[in-house]
Chains A and B, each alone.
Chain A
Amino acid sequence: DGGITQSPKYLFRKEGQNVTLSCEQNLNHDAMYWYRQDPGQGLRLIYYSQIVNDFQKGDIAEGYSVSREKKESFPLTVTSAQKNPTAFYLCASSVRTGGTSYEQYFGPGTRLTVT
């Protein structure tokens, strides 16, 4: 059963705490992405990775960090420096492209609430 899994589905944290969101894929995709979605808005790119041990900042990377130690895994840490962390976080993957985009496969998302 191929796909992308994100856990947990709902996450609650106190302000000032770091929290790590999990993303795993078994599609053998090289590229992985993290997006943030706020109510009534589109997706904004936080970080992306083309290959293992390499990643780049997206449009809203401040207050977030990632790692890509394995091809299948791309965890996102929301740090205490992120001013408005409450949001819906989506992980996606795609075939590595080398200059053109292909369809992205999305996980079910993690809804993070920070109080």
Chain B
Amino acid sequence: SQQGEEDPQALSIQEGENATMNCSYKTSINNLQWYRQNSGRGLVHLILIRSNEREKHSGRLRVTLDTSKKSSSLLITASRAADTASYFCATSPPDDYKLSFGAGTTVTVRA
């Protein structure tokens, strides 16, 4: 079942701007992960944040997690054309290693 829901469904920004997308989920989680998918390709893991963490950074990516609101956000700073892709959040409940993926946010970065 798809537990995570991303918002917005689609996002169009100018190169150099920041892109923010959100993920909400329904049940308790062990961790939350973000993946990127370029059109017609496999997914690439971006970042994993554990349930006891509130914020994590990786290069131009910043992820926050608010377990009280059951939500997470992914911020891409100083976007580039190469950031054009779909972004998915995935969650796993405690004591389980399977992931449930949301429907994704499609980001288009205009040159």
Where the two chains meet, the residues of A that have a C-beta atom closer than 8 Å to any C-beta of B are 4, 6, 31, 33, 35, 40-45, 48, 58-59, 88, 90, 92, 94, 96-109, 111
Distance of A58 from chain B, by nearest CB (Å): 7
Q: How many residues of B contact A (CB 8 A)?
A: 26
A102 contact set on B, CB distance < 8 A: 48, 97
A104–B44 CB distance below 8 A: no
A100 to B42, CA, bound (A): 23
Q: A45-B98, A99-B96 are in contact. List 15 more A-B contacts (CB 8 A).
A: A35-B101, A43-B88, A45-B100, A88-B40, A98-B97, A99-B95, A99-B97, A100-B92, A101-B31, A103-B45, A104-B43, A105-B45, A106-B43, A108-B41, A109-B41
Q: Can you give 12 A-B contacts (C-beta < 8 A)?
A: A31-B97, A42-B88, A44-B2, A45-B100, A88-B40, A90-B42, A96-B97, A101-B97, A103-B33, A105-B45, A106-B42, A109-B42
Known A42-B88, A42-B104, A43-B88; judge A101-B42 contact (CB<8 A). Answer: no
A107–B42 CB distance below 8 A: yes
Distance of B9 from chain A, by nearest CB (Å): 8
Distance of B107 from chain A, by nearest CB (Å): 14
A106 to B37, CA, bound (A): 10
A109 to B42, CA, bound (A): 6
A103–B48 CB distance below 8 A: yes
Distance of B42 from chain A, by nearest CB (Å): 4
A96 to B98, CA, bound (A): 11
The 4 A-B pairs at the shortest CB distance, nearest first, are namely A106-B42, A101-B92, A97-B97, A42-B101
Q: Which of A40, A58, A99, A104 has the most CB of B within 10 A?
A: A104
